[in-house]
Every structure is written in structure tokens, then in C-alpha cells.
Structure 1
Amino acid sequence: MTESLRSFFDELVTPDRTLVVVNRSSPDPVRNLFDSLLDDQPVSITETEAADEPDDMIALVEDDAVVARSTLDELLESVLLINSDLYKTGAVALGEVALPDVLRGLEEVPFRLRGYPASNKEKLLLIVVSRVIERIAAEHGRGTLRASFQRLSRINDERGTRDVYAALADTDVDVHVYGVGDAASLSALPVTVHTGTSFPYRRSWFVVFTPPADVDGDRVALLALEDEPNVWDGFWTFRPALVDRIERYVADRL
């Protein structure tokens, strides 16, 4: 029996994965940006030359096999040249949010990520994955989305977040939001609000989407816990059974 949100971390069995920059032609500052995204994480970054590959290709390697590929440009456009303010202000439209295949392939890798000012990039991974899950929900138009915000006021304070949940209101997605604060402040949005003051409400960050049972589509979850101020342990997963169990835990226990 799952005893807490933290218990889901104990179930992760992460194979050894490496990101390989193939035929790098980009300058050192770009490579440094890439490195800063994954500093001190359980994913190494290496370089290689390959005559049959294009320049600046990123390969995700697991057990000596390439399991995903993305271009460096895809990473630059989706993460490396982006900052969190663009998501908060809504400068990045929901339909434009993308998760390159090599980052999607890092599912169930347990990351430990710092927010600003300790790091300009690390926490952005969680922000991008959160937005991707919200985009998937909007594209399905049905199903259930559960998301925590620590402070419910963030939904109104961050224009980009408000726009996302207003857009979801135009679909048939059943949206549930969790956090500390005044539920009445969200009365203009057709969402179900769950409030509390326990650890999951104050210090968890989850975004979980499950499509209807009769729909074949992505089940996806992000789960992160703030064990220290502005430091998050987190992972994301597309594994249907694990997503369903996280969704049921949130639905039944919070």
C-alpha cells in the first residue's frame, strides 16, 4: 500500500541513460547551457563524432542502444533559450509547448532540481513538463487533470497559468486543483478546488492527466516534492500503471 507521495519515488527503477551530443558544431556557450540543465543529475552528457549523423544531434542512449533523438535546435527552442517568466506571463502559448524526445525519454529519472536564484535552468524542466501535460489534456478535450500549486493564488497571479486553466475550461476535461489558500478566489474558473495545510498541499508539485477509459492516449504524471526550500525532488512518467496509481492516490487521499 502506498503510504505517501514520497513512496512513489521508491518504486523507480531507472536504467543507466546518457545524452550524447553527436557532431557538435555549436559553440561552447551552447554546450554550457546544455550542461547547466542537467548539472549534478543522474544523467551524463558526452560527445562523439559519427560520419553518418547530422551535426548537433542529441541521442539518448540506454544499454548501448539509441532510444530517442532530438536536434540541439529543438532543445534550444523548448528549454535552453527559455526562462520560466515566459511561461508565467503566457508568452509561450500552450499549443507551442513541446518536450523533445530525448527529454521525454528521461521519464522516471529522479531529478533533484533547484529554483532561481540557485539555478536559472534546473527547475525549468519541471515547468516545461507540467505545461506539456496540460497541453496533452487540452488536446484530448476529455479526461481528468489534477494539479497542485502550493499556493492557489498562483493561478491568478501568473497570467500564463491563468490562461492555461481558462483554456482547459473550454474543454470537457475534469480539472482539479490543489493548494493552500482561498478556494473562492477561483470561483470564475470551472475547476474543483481542494484546499488543505498538510505537506502535500504546501510542498508537493504534481500534474497528472488520465484520459477517459475508452480513449487510447497518453497517461502522464509529474511528481515533485520540496523537501528543502526551493529544492525539488521530482520525476515524470508515461507508464500507465504508475500514472493511474498516482492519480488514485491524489484522488483518494487529498
Structure 2
Amino acid sequence: MVADGGLSGIEDFFQEASGHDVSLVTIDRTEPRPVQDLLAKAFSMQTVDLIERSLPRDDDDVVALRKNGRVTAVSSLRELMQSFLLVNAERFKTGTKGFDDGVPAVLRGMDETLFDLRGYPASNREKLLLVLVSRHIERLAYEAGTGTLRSTFQQLSRLEDELGTKKLYERLAGRTVDVHVYGVPDEVPRGLDAAVHTSTSDEYRNSWCVVFSPSDGPGAALIASQQEPNRWRGFWTYDPETVGRVDRYLERSF
């Protein structure tokens, strides 16, 4: 673990990813083969194994998350399809999908796993994983109603141009959450009850962080960095110590 004072940038936190042996197991699939192919394609570039099994159980079309040989989360394949495999990421920008929709447990539970994710057109699905986890953390902040939420946007114009994102942060600002947004000041958001932090540094341009530090209860942090245009490396965590360190880094260094 790198001490707070020894951090040189967001990517130093990647050392916190623990390197679990992670796999997704599709159990008793009755959905057509293309659904399994979509799931395999979404994780084809990752250190996540895809396995199919037939087991004597009551429910068909179940997906289990297995970490280091132990099942840690279970979701229905239908839930995974509706929230991830068959979703157009543009819905998050236009406002037709927000944090009122839950994120399947098997996706939330992939914390501490370091991902290398591509956006469109290289992939229709990979980068969406970061969007879903961002929404999950924002939802934690909204439901808690207190605490501090820090989000980096690369370009602050996204808070004006993406209607869905703007609506979501207006809702968050309506709570008693201390909201901080960070980005290049290409267009400073208007009428948003949040602390706005601006810079044109490379780290502002290339960081994707959503960090909720609660007053009480569970928090979470997504830490990602753009390696090249539309290719992101990062992970998320629920570990209180790491969440606190990321929160402090953004507060002091951004």
C-alpha cells in the first residue's frame, strides 16, 4: 500500500487491486446462445473467466460470481441482460436510465478487480461497466443522504450536454450530500448546487473517479484512468481505508 504522501497520481491506487481469481458462471442457461456470446464478448479482454454449468437447482438462467473458488454473488441472467448486455449506453446520457435502476450483484461484486476497458467503437459493452458502477456509487450517496461525493468528469461540459447526467447530479445536490465535481472548464455547469473544481492538467483530463465517503455506513470508490483515447484502466472498491485515501487524494491534490 502506498502512503497518502507517497502518491504521485491516480494510477498509484491500482496497486490496491488484489488480483482475485474471478469467474462468471452461467447456470442452466435457457436463453439463446447469442446471450452467452454477448457476455463472453463483454469480458473477452479481461481477467474474468466465463463458465457454463448445468446443476440440479430450481432456477434456470442464473449467473454466479465466483472469487477465488467461492461464490460471492448471484444474479439472474435476465437482470444482467436488461441492465448490461442489452443496454445502449446513450440511455445514461439522455436521461432514460439513471441510478433508480439497480446494478446486478455479480457486477457490483467484481470489486478489487483491475479492468482494461474500451469504449465505442472498439466495444459496445466494456466501458458500460464503469458507467454502471458510477451510477451504483452515486445511488449509494443519494440513498445515504449525507456524506461527500467527489466525481471527476474530464470535461465539465458533460454536466450540461448529457441530460441524464445533469438530472442525476441535480437530484444529488438536492440531498444533504456534499457534492464536488472536477473537470476541464470547457463549460462550467450552471445552477448546480455543488463545489466545482477546475484545471487543465493531464490528470483532470484523464481521470474517471466517483468516490462516496459516507458520514456513516458503507462507501465506495471507482478509480480509473484513460490510457489512450477511449480506453480506460481501473477498478472499484468498498474497502473503507482505500475509499478514505482516494477521497483525501482528490480533496488535496485535485
Bin of the TM-score, shorter chain as denominator length: over 0.9
Please, what is the CA RMSD of the aligned residues?
1.2
SS at match of 1:95: coil
Structure 2 residue 43 is the aligned partner of structure 1 residue 38: yes
Taking structure 1 as the reference length, the TM-score comes to 0.95
* 1:145 and 2:169 are equivalent in the alignment: no
Please give the residue correspondences for 1:45-84 in structure 2 after superposition, counting only pairs within 5 Å: 45-84=50-89
Partner of 1:210: 213
Alpha-carbon contact 2:155-2:183 (below 8 Å) kept? yes
Contact residue 20 and residue 112 of structure 2 kept, 8 A: no
- d(CA) in 2 for partners of 1:117, 1:63: 33
Letter in 2 for 1:198: S
CA distance in 2, matches of 1:53, 1:220: 34
Contact 1:22 1:53 in 2 (8 A): no
The letter of the residue matching 1:237 is T
Which residue of structure 2 aligns with residue 10 of structure 1?
Answer: 15
TM-score by length of 2: 0.95
Alignment match, 1:126: 130
Q: Which residue of 2 aligns with 1:192?
A: 195
Alpha-carbon separation, structure 2, partners of 1:203 and 1:177: 14
Mark the runs of 5 or more structure 2 residues left unpaired by the alignment.
1-5
Identity over the aligned pairs, expressed in percent?
Answer: 46
Q: Offset of 1:182 from its aligned partner? A: 4.7
Q: How many residues were matched structurally?
A: 249
Give the whole-Å Cα distance in 1 for the aligned partners of 2:186 and 2:178. 20
Equivalent pair of 1:22/1:55 in contact (CA under 8 Å): yes
Q: Cα offset for 1:92?
A: 1.1
Q: Distance in 2 between matches of 1:182 and 1:49?
A: 53
Alignment check: 8 A CA contact 1:23 1:53 kept = no
- State the alpha-carbon separation in 2 of the partners of residues 147 and 33 from structure 1: 30
Shift >6 Å, 4+ stretches: none
Distance in 1 (CA, whole Å) between partners of 2:246 and 2:58 is 39
Task: Give the secondary structure class of the aligned counterpart of 2:176.
Answer: coil
Q: What's the counterpart of residue 119 of structure 2?
A: 115
- 2:110 corresponds in structure 1 to 106
CA deviation after TM superposition for structure 1 residue 62, in Å: 2.3
1:158 corresponding residue in structure 2: 162
Encode CA deviations 1:26-83: one digit per residue, 9 max, x unaligned: 1011111111221210001010110125211111112322111111011012111111
* SS in structure 1 of the partner of residue 100 of structure 2: helix
Using the TM superposition, give the Cα deviation of residue 94 of structure 1 relative to its aligned residue in structure 2, in angstroms: 2.7
Aligned equivalents of 2:49, 2:62: Cα separation in 1: 16
| Amino acid corresponding to residue 250 of structure 1 in structure 2 | L
SS of 1:226's equivalent in the other structure is strand
| Residue pair 2:98, 2:135 contacting (<8 A) in 1 also | no
Distance 2:212 2:68 in 1: 30
- Consecutive unaligned residues in structure 1, runs of 5 or more: none
* Distance in 2, Cα, partners of 1:249 & 1:53: 47
